[in-house]
A and B are shown apart, each in its own frame.
Chain A
Amino acid sequence: MLILFFAFYFSLLTFHIFIMNTFQQNIEILRLQDPALAAQVVESSGGTLSIQTAKSGVPTASVNDRSIHSAYDPVREAERWAEHQIKDCQEGETLVVLGVGLLYHVQALRARLPQDAVILVMVPDIAELVDGLSVRSLQGWGERVQWVGGDPEQMALQVVQQSQRIRLLTYEPAVSIHPNSYDAFRSQLRDQLAKRVSGTLHIMVVGPIYGGSLPIAGYMVRALESLGHRVSWVDHSLHAPGYQHLDTIRDDRLRMTVQQRFSDTLGVISLAHVAEDPPDIVLAMSQAPLSMVVLEQMRRKKVLTAMWFVENFRHLTYWQQMIDGYDFWFVMQQAACLEAFKNAGASQVSYLPLAADPTIHQSVDLTPQEQQELGADVSFLGAGYRNRRELLPVLLGHEWSFKLWGNEWDRAGTLEAVLQRNGARIDTSTSVEIFNATSINVNLHSYTGMGFDPDGDSVNPRTFELASCGAFQVIDQRTLLSELFDESMMGVIKTPEELVPAVRTYLHEPERRREMAEQSKKRVVMSHTYAHRMQTLLSTVGLASPDRIGSILQGERQAESLMARSRDCPELLPLLKSFPATDRVELVDVARMIRRKGPEATLSREELLVLMMDEYRQEKRDFL
């Protein structure tokens, strides 16, 4: 018995000594790379990971009974992960690893990359790193890994200071230990990269035939152009009269079939535009008539596609059939929406709230006549959804004037007395005038039920537009509102019962209203314009495709960058030197420049090769 006790004690002691030795050796390696981080590690006691022994005999880890590495063979698992990751990696990229755990995946990655490849490991939690360094040795590989700690903003800054050609490699099991930190890091990194954008893209925006997302497509186009990108707008609203004329077909099935064919044809038209002038990315707006067949053809032709789905994902569910069609999805709802899209198979889905265009949604001076016609103490502008029909009558019969604007208000009951212009659709410029002419703009999000939507999360475009106009609004509570605007910027009501008291209160406080509206306007200009949204969207795409969109955004296609990187192909230099340094230069541009030499020109071999490539680039034989 005593012998057994000593044997057990001895083995424990040996294990403890092994851990101490490994840890100390690791600290020495770490100290050479990052003394500050090494000091932090020494100070920390660890404890994030629970360490066990895998069947293969090496340490493995879990958190709250959830495995971070394989319980059987963590080394093999990490090798498979690394092999999968390196398939897409390109020379010159900085590889940023998200997820620490026991670092098996980092070691496997290091082993598969050239010596000069840069690997940065993000460390949001020192305790987790301590756990890893206690049982895994860095010797022989950890010397060629860089560690980046701090809060998400600091980490993002450190990463972009190292390189702007970044590829994120996510080891999901370890990321799930600190999901919020990594999300925040990604968001910060995206913002940091957006600030450093110097290159311009060719973006094809495909809009809907008609509907609420149509004006947003227009705002997107303006925003992208204002950011310096070349935009090709495939404006299908041109075909709206023809499409709407199909309503004259009385048979439902026949009409729907013809409408589908019409829509399919518009998709093929979009494809023809892509073939004629290939963009870097096709950016589709909700309801864009791009069928799966068209999207699959674009994918075959290596055209990146993104969809900004500005609908309530619970109400309009066509996204489920289209989920595989787009490379990137952007949605205006969070948590449940992101989860639903991921579960349905979306490879990349990101939150992107709506916004305003301050060049359109702005303060305007009104003539007395306009003020007379469009102004009121209280106004509501929008379509006659059920909850609005239910709630808005409470605004009638008070000491204030109330006007109702918008369409789809047939059989509006008592509201008919205040319905303006017989319920005609109100265009954007008139909307802006109404917002400006109204003391209190009531902004109730649409809902097909009664009262306020209990799942109401996304914030409608009206919120941003009113704010951008410097117009005061009383708005129903939305879960995502508080991260976009402060409560000091608009009157937020949590229940329908609060509507009348809120209106009454604010109506008598014009100075407060003015200050709140001014604050909301500043917030829009600072953070919520469509230009901001497009920057975020493109940075997200760039981060996910560093060798394509990312490299273009970082200016790698500009003449000066191409010349600086042309050491492997000095023949390219004479072809590039005639371009202005910051001009984006593609094969087509070089070919055009060569053709301008005129019919008598004698061309070099390199020039002939460029023209030959351009000839093959132009071929569109199997695009449609």
Chain B
Amino acid sequence: MPSSGSNFPRALIVQLARLGDLLQSLPVLSSLRERFPEASFDLLCPAPLVCLAEMFPGIQEAISWNGEDWHVLAKGSNGDLNHTFPQVVEYFSRFPSTPYSVVYNLNNHPRSVLAAHLFSEQVVGAGNQGPLHMCLPPWVAYLRHVANERGSNRIHLADALCGLCGMKPPAMAPTMQAIQIELSSDLASIMHDSSLVRIGIVIGAGDVDRRVPLATWCRVIEACAAHIPNCVCVLIGGAGEREAALALEDQLAPQYLSRLVNCVGRTTLPQLAHVFNRCEWVIGSDTGPLHLAVACGVRTIGWYFSRARVHETGPYGVGHYVWQHLGHGHPDLWPVMETIQLILHHEPVDSCSSEWDLWTSHRDEWGMFYSQNGKPDHAIVEREEIWERLSGMSLEHAV
């Protein structure tokens, strides 16, 4: 088995999906490190997320996969193979040349499977039987079934990724290494003021149908300001949400503007991690930033509606809450005061239960799960049987 030049085996984790998926790969990384403490792990991830992957504990090197470069190569030189192919060979030569002992591939997308096989002859996870094999590993088939059926399964995606790699969920929910990174002076002064209670509010969402109306966020901010002493609401979002953030400021009653910090489009991912790190709570409907907040050790309250489902993609760890919308469309009522009550008293209030269910996160030896009122139901108990059935074929892959 080839090694990295030292006596320790080298492994690569391939995660080419989006922010949320990358962050949900932290548990499998943690399990792999626990199981193979002598191995070194690199992580292949999309170029824009490399700065974040570098903050993952135990990652030797975060390797950038630039989809745009591949696009240009695939569509360039007018399709003449004699021109494009040498360019691709040359491009690929910039990646680490020594094959990895093993690649843990966390995504069943063909690009991810191909990338895994480009880096090692031994692939664990998606594509483990070969780059052209159509047969899905049991955990991939399970995840596909969950994605299609949206049933009441209770195995969290992050734990399923562990199963996919032949691991059990880690003993503790992992977090990222806290880093000190410079913020602009106005943000820095608020983030480091120990007298303030900072509530992060993720105003955007990748899909339009998963966005919370700005008026609702205004109500949340006003309620925080009215009920939580020394509270400052930190608006979180990407560059594409700048206008929405400005519109929110316009809609907000003037007396609350001093209780608002607008970070939208002003931070890099590491800076955002730093901002999250300084928050007490983060509220939002966009699962990606919520996972980042969780990875930074913050407690979160998710508002899940549209296609977001608590059981697969709820914040990973103990002590998080998710309000799950019961309908299929856009909610009419929003759990504004109920959320404030949770922050204040850590207790659920049942005032809009006809539209929303409140779920609380827990964990046991089979990983994360969400329950209502802390009572394990049949689906939670079933997890053990699922783990035994699916992992019987894939547990304990050695590095």
Contact = CB atoms under 8 A, between A and B. Distances in A.
Interface in A577-613: 585-587, 590, 595, 597-603, 605-606, 608-613
B70 to A, nearest CB: 4
Contacts of B88: 609, 612-613
Nearest to A563: B82
Contacts of A599: 129-130, 132-135
Contacts of B84: 587, 613
Given A595-B132, A599-B129, A608-B131, A617 B81 contact: no
Contact of B82 (A566, A601, A608): A566
Contacts of A595: 132
A569 B78 CA distance: 17
Contacts of B133: 599-600
A612 B79 contact: no
A617 B86 contact: no
A587 B81 contact: yes
Nearest to A609: B88
B355 to A, nearest CB: 34
Most chain A CB neighbours (cut-off 10 Å) among B80, B92, B111, B135 = B80
Interface string B65-84: 00100110111001111101
Interface string A564-580: 01101101100010000
A603 B131 contact: yes
Interface residues of B, number: 30
A595 B71 CA distance: 20
B118 interface: yes
Interface residues of A, number: 39
A596 B86 CA distance: 23
A595 B131 CA distance: 9
Contacts of B70: 612-613, 616
Contacts of A610: 85
B141 to A, nearest CB: 16
B73 A601 contact: no
A597 B79 contact: no
B114 A617 contact: no
A548 interface: yes
A358 B166 CA distance: 69
B117 interface: yes
A284 B334 CA distance: 53
B74 A611 contact: no
B115 interface: yes
A612 B118 contact: yes
Contact of B132 (A576, A587, A597, A613): A597
A183 interface: no
30 contacts: A548-B78, A556-B82, A557-B81, A562-B82, A568-B82, A568-B86, A569-B86, A586-B79, A586-B81, A587-B79, A590-B81, A597-B132, A598-B132, A599-B129, A599-B132, A600-B130, A603-B131, A608-B114, A609-B85, A611-B110, A611-B114, A612-B111, A612-B115, A612-B118, A613-B70, A613-B85, A613-B88, A615-B74, A615-B114, A616-B75
Interface of B: 67, 70-71, 73-75, 78-82, 84-86, 88-89, 92, 110-111, 114-115, 117-118, 129-135
Interface of A: 302, 547-548, 551, 556-557, 562, 565-566, 568-569, 571-572, 576, 585-587, 590, 595, 597-603, 605-606, 608-617, 619
